[in-house]
Structure 1
Amino acid sequence: MSDTFKTIAKFQYSSEAQIIKGRLESEGIDVFLSDNFTIDTDPLVSNAIGGVKLKVLTKDALKAENILNNISKYSLDDEGNSLDCPNCNSNKIQLFSTIKDFKSFFSFIIGFLFGTLPFYAKDKYRCDVCNHEFDIKL
């Protein structure tokens, strides 16, 4: 079998890819990241170049994909319990950033004009089942 690589995942930022890389390497899988240094240098080009590509040897691809599928992408509370949607009680909740309010929109405009990343964004949760958006009250 040849030593060719297969891309099994893409990430917007290299920090996400580094976490998954560590998990796969702990299982004995050789991992290679591509475009991570480019995105670390200028995160705004991530979408243009397709993100950070996580690659494994072709012979390890199936094992790596199974490990990725077992990692939950859904949000947990501080005790490690899954969050529930207040609308439909589903536990398929993801955290996302939004710029819907004036403060985050103004921050986005300033960041865009001066070539920096926005310094303020509002985090919310979204249910994958009913698309309900909500905040968690602490």
Structure 2
Amino acid sequence: MQDTFVTIARFPYSTEAQIAKGRLEADGIEVFLRDNLTIDTDPLVSQAIGGVKLKVLAKDEERAREILKSIKAYSVDNEGHPIVCPNCKGEHIEMYTSINNFKSLMSFLIGLLFFTLPFSARYQYKCEDCKTEFPIKN
């Protein structure tokens, strides 16, 4: 069982997987990528086959997951300081776009129809620790 590979992460493109692979190999963890050549050949099949799979030996799984978790980028403010959750004071904050009013819906639809970027988007933050959602403060 210890000589088998387990999937610890999936990436839509092989470039992201190569970065994670390099970081894990630098820490002495043996890494194997699966389906990276298929996706490099035809990136449109990435979602159909489940992306590039990052695999490590079962004995290294826990340590590899901790390393990947430690290098994940979280949201920062304009000065480079981590954004803090107003509820739990955690710093594991992700930014996402929301369509929550008519203006942002119309912007999304126009962008979809004319292949342009939306000109009105609302951004929110979400804490990964306590799942609190809060708006950007300007």
Q: TM-score, normalised by structure 1?
A: 0.65
Alpha-carbon spacing, 1:42–1:76, altered in 2? closer, same or farther (3 Å): farther
Would you say the 8 A contact 2:124–2:133 is kept in 1? no
Task: Look up the match of 1:114.
Answer: none
Residue 30 of structure 1, CA deviation: 2.1
Which residue is 1:102 aligned to? 106
How far apart are 1:110 and its partner, in Å?
A: 5.0
| Identical amino acids, percent of aligned pairs | 46
Q: Corresponding residue for 1:131?
A: 133
Note the C-alpha offset of 1:12: 2.8
Offset of 1:79 from its aligned partner? 4.8
User: Equivalent residue for 1:20?
Assistant: 20
Residue 41 of structure 1 and its aligned partner are, at CA, apart by 4.4
What's 2:117 paired with?
Answer: 120
Aligned-partner Cα distance in 1 for 2:114–2:2: 50
Aligned AA (1:93): I
Q: TM-score, normalised by structure 2?
A: 0.65
Task: Decide whether aligned partners of structure 1 residues 11 and 2 sit closer, same or farther in structure 2, where only a CA change above 3 A counts.
Answer: same
Q: 1:92–1:66: structure 2 CA closer, same or farther, 3 Å change rule?
A: closer
What is the RMSD of the two structures over their aligned residues, measured on CA atoms? 3.3
Which has the greater radius of gyration? 2
5+ residue gaps, structure 2: none
Within-5 A mapping of 1:1-138: 3-77=3-77, 79-85=79-85, 88=87, 90-97=90-97, 100-110=104-114, 120=117, 124-128=123-127, 129-132=131-134, 134-135=135-136, 137=138
Q: What are the superposed Cα offsets for residues 23-57 of structure 1, whole Å, 9 maximum, x if unpaired?
A: 11111222222222333444443332222210112
Question: What amino acid maps onto 1:68 in structure 2?
Answer: L
